[in-house]
Structure 1
Amino acid sequence: MSGTPTLVVIGAGPRGTGLIERIAANAPALYGDRPLTIHLVDPYPPGGGRIWRHDQSPLLWMNSMAEDVTMFTDDTVRQEGPTRPGPALHTWAAGVRDGRFDLPDGAGTDPGLLGEIKALEGTDFPSRRLQSVYLRWVYEQAVAALPENITVHWHRGSALRVTGPREGRQQVWLAGRGTPLPADAVAVTIGHLEAEPEPEHLRLADFADRHGLLHLPPDFTADTDLTAVPAGEPVVVRGFGLAFVDLMVLLTEGRGGRYEDGEYVPSGREPVLHVGSRRGVPYHSKIGYTWDGERPPLPRFLGPERTGALLAADRPVDFRRDVWPHVDKELGHAHYHRLFTAHPGRTTGDWADFEAKYAAADPAGPELAALVAAAVPDPADRLDLEALDHPLDGVRHPSFDALQDGLRGYITADLERRHDPGHSPDLAVFLGLLSVYGQLIRLGDLGDLGGWWHGFFSHLASGPPGPRLHQLLALSRAGVVRFLGAGMTVETDERRGLFLAGSATVPGQRTAARTLIEARLPDPTLERTRSPLLRELYEDGAAATATGLLSVAPDSGRILGRDGRPHPRRFALGPFTTARAGGAFTRPRTGGPAFRQNDATARTALTLLRDLPRTAG
């Protein structure tokens, strides 16, 4: 057996690509000229992986503007390794147009993609297929940047399990391969997970089977078979986030409908989508203007010192008690800094005086609210996170028909606000959310943090492009989408054999349907994952949090055992871990916690591999 150190990276999507890029950046100084073999394992081509593969509907967009997507580090990333700048998505497309960058093999034969690249501007929302080409290009650049002593081999398949002693060489077993890949270190970067149905979904599926109905559990919308969803019939949709937006597109334009002069022209093959959720509203629109002027000083109240102190405390960290007050104060500080500096006519007094009093105030005390009320006369200019999280609390309508105009008004107002620079404190809060997420990653999974916080962040910061909400309004006016409201409930009617959907917004009313779609991603939980690899890691002693995330050391990405010890040779990065990062991709010059994680894991793995004894096998 060869004595060449070997790293197996399981998952060839953006996270696996990012790890290879960081290995290329760090290897010259940290690893030297010793040979290294990297085996990359994924059933989908490297770069995009499964979620960002080329083979999906061209109707599906990214959820970010092209100028807000980069795979390259800059000097805002707090990392030990060297910065290696590279183009964001829109500047890459411009480089393809002017001949500075070559397209990956095969991409130049797709006229639709070529047309999109030719027309792409920074404020456009590209198709996911275009992002697939960018990611493939980034992967090829990362591999080309590796020193000559490091080679990469892609294995088109799935990893089933990892075996081997803590202090010895690992074995990675692949589907359809009789012998394992030997590995001195293993990094799991498989991205989003499929999951077994939750108990409630099993009950609903059983009800559907007995009555000849259709129930579609949480899944990746692009991978869901929607052919059985009937045309012209009411369909109950539970979930109003990004999975719903994809569903909306595939069941309308994907079935031949089109938009003309801002109105929707049906094909006649659409269902009628009755959509509701806990909040009862879609995620807030992406902000449609760019930043100018002074940026808020971030972090201010939740930075490395604060999170370090929480980690060093002699009691368990409670998110609501110990963390949330500082999150609230951090976001408020970003909001009011922008209001005072960019819109001073809507404030009273001096920013320096306000900031000093704001800093001294108890995060949960009444003096903070009194300070804000005195300095910001218009309540519409004050930050109210509770109201943002529960926009329909107390709102009641006598019927679902009465609700429709109200929700269209809410969405219209949100679109206007999120595209009006006069409300630029909203963008400051967005930057604050990114900063906060980067700090919370250090704390791991804190109960509420895994569920409520991620949903709250997504609601405020990861909403759909504005054009999608304009399409939603058009679909509502056309009667193809109908709103159900907040506090959505789903019941089953055994006598009639129907699903019944209601909400707190329209008390006492129910909508009946023969189809129920759960429009959300499966929870990233080890307990119900369909990944045999993660199940085996868990059974082999890997720790999981109360919310089902794989526990990893925040400073290295090493997988933690249930005894608290980090595994010396096993690493993991991605949304299924306690180091999950907010958003799929990083905006340029925002610090990129995912970049920091990739760098730390690459450096730790390279140090391990460098220090192996120079002996065979």
Structure 2
Amino acid sequence: MKKITIIGSGPRGMSVLERLAANVTATEMTQELKIVLVDNCRVGQGRVWDSTQSKNYIMNTLSTEISAFSGHGSIDKARAGSGPSFAEWWQANYDDFDKYQGYAPRRYYGEYLSFVHEVVKKCLPPNVTIMELNDTVIDIEADPDSCKIICEQCSPFLSDAVVIATGHSTNAYTGKFKKLKNFATTQADIRFISGDSSSEIDFSVIQPSEDVGLVGLGLSFFDVVAELTEGRGGNFVELNDGDLSYEPSGLEPVLHCGSRSGVPILARGRNEKPSDYTYTHTIFTNEKMMKLRSDKSKKIDFQKDVWELLEAEINCAYFDQMIRNTKSEHVAALFTKAILENKIEDSKSLAFFASEILGEPIKSLDLAALARPFDGIKYDNYQSWNESLEKLLKTDLAAAENGNLGSPLKSALDVLRNSRDNIRAAIDFGGLTPQTHKDFLSTYMPIITLLSAGPPLFRIKQLLALMKAGVVSIIPPNMEIDASDDGFSLSSGACLDYKTSVSTLIDARVPVANLQLDENQLTQQLYQKGIYSAFVNVGTNGDEFTTGGVNVTDSPFNPIGRGGVEYKNMFVLGIPTEHTRWFMQSGSSRPAHWIDFMIDADNIAVNALNCLD
């Protein structure tokens, strides 16, 4: 009997399973096949989406935009290749869709994945079976014909093909954070809580009214705050003006939260777009990026070749929506026509054309300034900083409430999400120069994330209420952390009179893929024995940038090991390949059409089946 093993049963692993089932059914394969699904968490859900976690952990992608099936179909007739979207499943099983504004608790997505898992099992032909192992894979011994899978508990077994979809992991700390973590181990009443999936952090050690520091103001920050407020019995009450007031339970700690920018990740606009919405690029097109990649004699400069065009596209969408809202769709179409006919590719010229049409001077958006609005500003005291931040959050909230069509700003920033494929076309597999690859990761990616990957708008309402209640305070920009006699000392380079001490420090950042520091035992073993190697971006002048991503071939993503050896019967999918490719955190496909998520899964499924010949 032939075997295909999938390591990791979160969204990526389940997508491969679904496409394996669809392909064996479509090809009427007669071979005996066993698909082994291995996960050390809940099989069929994975770690991040475990259905036993708190409802306080919310997704940041609309459920209407999510499907784990590779084709659309009804719930009652679901099969591999055809099934309901996540939103359809949610509304059929729970009555709280409107309460969450279509942004589901992560545990619901775990339940949905289990539904997909059960559907796939039921529709398999008799010659194909699934074996589920609740175990940890700690090593793989590979040769050209098969792989030996070594687990913590089960006996080793051979597999003809292996799909590695291990998802998020944790990294060993280096530098300052290593020192801070080590400092906590030497103090009886001091705690350092490492970055991880928020649902797996033990918050019971945190005491009521304890001063707690949070590092990072991204999506995981909102998870931690929710669990330490609502999760401890606090309540949000809606006021007559639509704002929220927070009623503490008395069990909350006092949270002091900061980051380099001092800006919490901004809200997504209230959704006004259908689930099958598509955006057509005018300036930042895939064709332009592919043309840049076609010149093998040079690499792409992200700032000059990509960022300027991307920012122009965002401004094009911004002005277009402004014209639609104040003039008409017809006038907006004339604006687009003028851009194409005049081959406009810069934000300054776009602003000129838009100003002419609107009859008033309009400034273009500066994405870096939007993401770093407080850069270079010094505050005399915390109150003046807090007032500035509150004003920013209220302005952002008002734009979000106007909707992702009603607000030209939120409509335009949505285009950052719509542009991911075009960005990938430019940067994946070393398209950028080594230096601008580094710049992209350190400078531009945080800007894109802060402006486009935020939470539902009710999270910003809640944050404002918590700030007003004194439960949450946001530290001014350029937060500094030091060890002190009182615990961890938090200060700010933007407000010299700000300083506070906390007894617990939580790293509320999601760990970034880093092959060299990854603490996953399987990853360590594969790296040490040379099956995994780091992707190295080599410039045309011989300069190099060694990334933390697993080096893989183009689809179907076979690992390229030490010495350039390609392991054709192994496939690495998703987060471990981040930096080799970009934005591998995506956990779903779309109901209306396949995106890279499902295309990748299908290519791997087809090639894994070819390994059986």
Question: Structure 1 length normalisation: TM-score?
Answer: 0.85
How far has the Cα of 1:558 moved from its partner?
1.6
Question: What is the alpha-carbon distance in structure 1 between the residues aligned to residue 529 and residue 182 of structure 2?
Answer: 33
Question: What is the alpha-carbon distance in structure 1 between the residues aligned to residue 611 and residue 449 of structure 2?
Answer: 36
Residue in 1 that maps onto 2:505: 516
Corresponding residue SS for 1:160: strand
Report the CA distance shift for 1:200/1:146 in structure 2 as closer, same or farther (over 3 A). farther
How far has the Cα of 1:345 moved from its partner?
6.6
Contact 1:41 1:158 (C-alpha < 8 Å) held by counterparts: yes
Residue in 1 that maps onto 2:139: 161
1:147-296 maps to which residues of 2 (within 5 A)?
Answer: 147-165=125-143, 167-177=144-154, 179-212=155-188, 213-261=190-238, 262-291=244-273, 296=279
Question: What is the alpha-carbon distance in structure 2 between the residues aligned to residue 49 and residue 243 of structure 1?
Answer: 18
Question: What is the alpha-carbon distance in structure 2 between the residues aligned to residue 333 and residue 564 of structure 1?
Answer: 43
Residue in 2 that maps onto 1:601: 604
How far has the Cα of 1:427 moved from its partner?
4.9
Residue in 1 that maps onto 2:568: 568
**1:488 aligned to which of 479, 487, 492:** 479
How far has the Cα of 1:476 moved from its partner?
0.5
Aligned identity (percent) is 27
Report the CA distance shift for 1:40/1:591 in structure 2 as closer, same or farther (over 3 A). closer
Question: What is the alpha-carbon distance in structure 2 between the residues aligned to residue 417 and residue 45 of structure 1?
Answer: 39
Q: 1:401 is aligned with what amino acid? A: Q
| Deviates most, 337-346 or 455-464 | 337-346
Q: RMSD of aligned C-alpha atoms?
A: 3.0
Residue in 2 that maps onto 1:79: none
1:146-545 maps to which residues of 2 (within 5 A)?
Answer: 146-165=124-143, 167-177=144-154, 179-212=155-188, 213-261=190-238, 262-291=244-273, 296-298=279-281, 301-303=284-286, 306-307=289-290, 309-310=292-293, 313-344=296-327, 350-356=334-340, 360-363=343-346, 367=349, 370-371=352-353, 382-421=364-403, 423-442=406-425, 443-444=428-429, 446-493=437-484, 496-541=485-530, 542-545=532-535
Q: 1:231 is aligned with what amino acid? A: P
How far has the Cα of 1:7 moved from its partner?
0.8
Report the CA distance shift for 1:497/1:136 in structure 2 as closer, same or farther (over 3 A). same
Question: Deviations along 1:162-217, whole A, 9 cap, x unmatched?
Answer: 1122x22111101123x322111111011111222233222012223334422222
Residue in 2 that maps onto 1:16: 13
Report the CA distance shift for 1:501/1:157 in structure 2 as closer, same or farther (over 3 A). same
Contact 1:299 1:435 (C-alpha < 8 Å) held by counterparts: no
Corresponding residue SS for 1:603: helix
Contact 1:72 1:87 (C-alpha < 8 Å) held by counterparts: yes
Question: What is the alpha-carbon distance in structure 2 between the residues aligned to residue 553 and residue 439 of structure 1?
Answer: 20
Question: What is the alpha-carbon distance in structure 1 between the residues aligned to residue 417 and residue 554 of structure 2?
Answer: 17
Question: Deviations along 1:496-554, whole A, 9 cap, x unmatched?
Answer: 34322223432453222232221111221111111111112212322213331112223
1:574-613 maps to which residues of 2 (within 5 A)?
Answer: 574-577=574-577, 578-579=580-581, 580-581=583-584, 583-589=586-592, 591-609=594-612, 612=613
Report the CA distance shift for 1:309/1:151 in structure 2 as closer, same or farther (over 3 A). farther
1:67 aligns with 2:49: no
Q: 1:607 is aligned with what amino acid? A: N
Corresponding residue SS for 2:140: strand
Contact 1:544 1:551 (C-alpha < 8 Å) held by counterparts: yes
Question: What is the alpha-carbon distance in structure 2 between the residues aligned to residue 523 and residue 42 of structure 1?
Answer: 21
How far has the Cα of 1:484 moved from its partner?
1.0
How far has the Cα of 1:572 moved from its partner?
1.0
Report the CA distance shift for 1:453/1:88 in structure 2 as closer, same or farther (over 3 A). farther
Question: What is the alpha-carbon distance in structure 1 between the residues aligned to residue 587 and residue 41 of structure 2?
Answer: 18
Contact 1:14 1:135 (C-alpha < 8 Å) held by counterparts: yes
Residue in 2 that maps onto 1:100: none
Contact 1:54 1:129 (C-alpha < 8 Å) held by counterparts: yes
Q: How many residues align?
A: 575
Q: 1:204 is aligned with what amino acid? A: L
Q: 1:8 is aligned with what amino acid? A: T
Question: What is the alpha-carbon distance in structure 1 between the residues aligned to residue 283 and residue 570 of structure 2?
Answer: 35
Report the CA distance shift for 1:267/1:123 in structure 2 as closer, same or farther (over 3 A). closer
Question: What is the alpha-carbon distance in structure 2 between the residues aligned to residue 475 and residue 370 of structure 1?
Answer: 42
Q: 2:138 is aligned with what amino acid? A: L
Contact 2:5 2:161 (C-alpha < 8 Å) held by counterparts: yes
Contact 2:80 2:123 (C-alpha < 8 Å) held by counterparts: no
Report the CA distance shift for 1:285/1:45 in structure 2 as closer, same or farther (over 3 A). same
Report the CA distance shift for 1:284/1:585 in structure 2 as closer, same or farther (over 3 A). farther
Report the CA distance shift for 1:321/1:590 in structure 2 as closer, same or farther (over 3 A). farther
| Deviates most, 225-234 or 470-479 | 225-234
Contact 2:8 2:46 (C-alpha < 8 Å) held by counterparts: yes
Report the CA distance shift for 1:148/1:460 in structure 2 as closer, same or farther (over 3 A). farther
Question: What is the alpha-carbon distance in structure 1 between the residues aligned to residue 370 and residue 83 of structure 2?
Answer: 36
How far has the Cα of 1:39 moved from its partner?
0.6
Report the CA distance shift for 1:321/1:295 in structure 2 as closer, same or farther (over 3 A). same
Report the CA distance shift for 1:216/1:385 in structure 2 as closer, same or farther (over 3 A). same
Report the CA distance shift for 1:15/1:308 in structure 2 as closer, same or farther (over 3 A). farther
Q: 1:534 is aligned with what amino acid? A: T
Contact 1:11 1:189 (C-alpha < 8 Å) held by counterparts: yes
Corresponding residue SS for 1:125: coil
Contact 1:67 1:123 (C-alpha < 8 Å) held by counterparts: no
Question: Deviations along 1:40-60, whole A, 9 cap, x unmatched?
Answer: 100222332111112212332
Report the CA distance shift for 1:95/1:222 in structure 2 as closer, same or farther (over 3 A). closer
Question: Deviations along 1:7-36, whole A, 9 cap, x unmatched?
Answer: 110001111111111112223445732222
Contact 1:74 1:85 (C-alpha < 8 Å) held by counterparts: yes
Question: Deviations along 1:90-127, whole A, 9 cap, x unmatched?
Answer: 2113445xxxxxxxxxxxxxxxxxxxx13434933322
Contact 2:257 2:473 (C-alpha < 8 Å) held by counterparts: yes
Question: What is the alpha-carbon distance in structure 1 between the residues aligned to residue 497 and residue 261 of structure 2?
Answer: 18
Corresponding residue SS for 2:568: strand
Report the CA distance shift for 1:296/1:63 in structure 2 as closer, same or farther (over 3 A). closer
Residue in 2 that maps onto 1:141: 119
Contact 1:376 1:382 (C-alpha < 8 Å) held by counterparts: no
How far has the Cα of 1:475 moved from its partner?
0.8
How far has the Cα of 1:430 moved from its partner?
4.7
Question: What is the alpha-carbon distance in structure 2 between the residues aligned to residue 189 and residue 448 of structure 1?
Answer: 28
Contact 1:17 1:142 (C-alpha < 8 Å) held by counterparts: no
Residue in 2 that maps onto 1:36: 33
Question: What is the alpha-carbon distance in structure 1 between the residues aligned to residue 301 and residue 160 of structure 2?
Answer: 37
Question: Which 5+ residue runs of structure 2 have no aligned equivalent?
Answer: 73-78, 239-243, 431-436, 536-545
Q: 2:56 is aligned with what amino acid? A: L
| Deviates most, 423-432 or 228-237 | 423-432
Report the CA distance shift for 1:376/1:387 in structure 2 as closer, same or farther (over 3 A). farther
How far has the Cα of 1:83 moved from its partner?
10
How far has the Cα of 1:368 moved from its partner?
5.6
Question: What is the alpha-carbon distance in structure 1 between the residues aligned to residue 316 and residue 570 of structure 2?
Answer: 40
Question: Deviations along 1:366-406, whole A, 9 cap, x unmatched?
Answer: 65665566556667773321222212224432111222222
How far has the Cα of 1:434 moved from its partner?
3.0
Report the CA distance shift for 1:561/1:151 in structure 2 as closer, same or farther (over 3 A). same
How far has the Cα of 1:309 moved from its partner?
4.2
| Deviates most, 294-303 or 339-348 | 339-348
| Deviates most, 599-608 or 183-192 | 599-608
Report the CA distance shift for 1:173/1:14 in structure 2 as closer, same or farther (over 3 A). same
Q: 2:296 is aligned with what amino acid? A: A
Q: 1:596 is aligned with what amino acid? A: I
Question: What is the alpha-carbon distance in structure 2 between the residues aligned to residue 565 and residue 302 of structure 1?
Answer: 35
